Amino acid sequence: MLNDKLSLFYQKVNEAASTHGLNAKAVADVVLLEAFPETSTAANQEGADAMLRNGVIQFLTAYFKRAPKLDPDQLAFDIPEQFAPIVSKLKSGAHYVKELGQLVPVEMLIAQPAWLDDARKYKRRKGEETIAEAVVLDELYTAVTKA
């Protein structure tokens, strides 16, 4: 569920950025209610809407500063047809990019090969760590069942 919400958030950010550019305030105003309607409603009811908006603006400002300068035409991300068969094999629509410290939608990874490289290396390291841990658990299981 969280990945779906984050994926929707980044999708909405990309859509808004294609219209408003990298203007964090304008993008936040468009995205906040669309991506997080329940959170926005609750924040509004509790009087925390300005704090929520300011936090999203701060996040987007930092996010846009980290992002390489993009051609405005590249801000509307679609998965190119030639990559669709590969992307359809993925179980997640967003993957962790260590350099950014956050999940990034596959569409953005395709548009930013350096982020894609970071994400694939991170996933591979985590996979190797998981396999190593499973080997130790196998060893422990064998020892426990023999005892």
* Residues 64-91 pLDDT 10s: 776 654 444 444 457 888 998 998 898 8
Strand segments, DSSP code E, in the chain are 94-97, 102-105
Same domain? For 49 and 86 the reply is no
Same domain? For 68 and 81 the reply is no
CB 43 within 8 A of CB 49: yes
d(CA 44, CA 83): 41
Give 1-59 pLDDT, tens digit per residue.
455 677 788 888 888 877 776 778 888 888 988 888 888 889 889 998 899 999 988 88
Residue 36 neighbours by CB under 8 Å, 6+ apart = 5, 9
pLDDT at 46 (0 to 100)? 92
Same domain? For 81 and 129 the reply is yes
Same domain? For 84 and 128 the reply is yes
Residue 64 neighbours by CB under 8 Å, 6+ apart = 17, 22, 24
Sign of CA dihedral 136, 142, 146, 147: positive
Is pLDDT larger for residue 97 or for residue 135? Answer: 135
SS3 state at 77:
coil
pLDDT at 16 (0 to 100)? 81
Is pLDDT larger for residue 135 or for residue 5? Answer: 135
Whether 117 shows a pLDDT value over 90: the answer reads yes
Same domain? For 81 and 143 the reply is yes
Grade residue 108 by pLDDT with cuts at 50, 70 and 90: confident
Number of domains in the chain: 2
* Full residue range of the structural domain in which residue 28 is found: 1-73
Same domain? For 89 and 116 the reply is yes
Is pLDDT larger for residue 130 or for residue 8? Answer: 130
Same domain? For 62 and 100 the reply is no
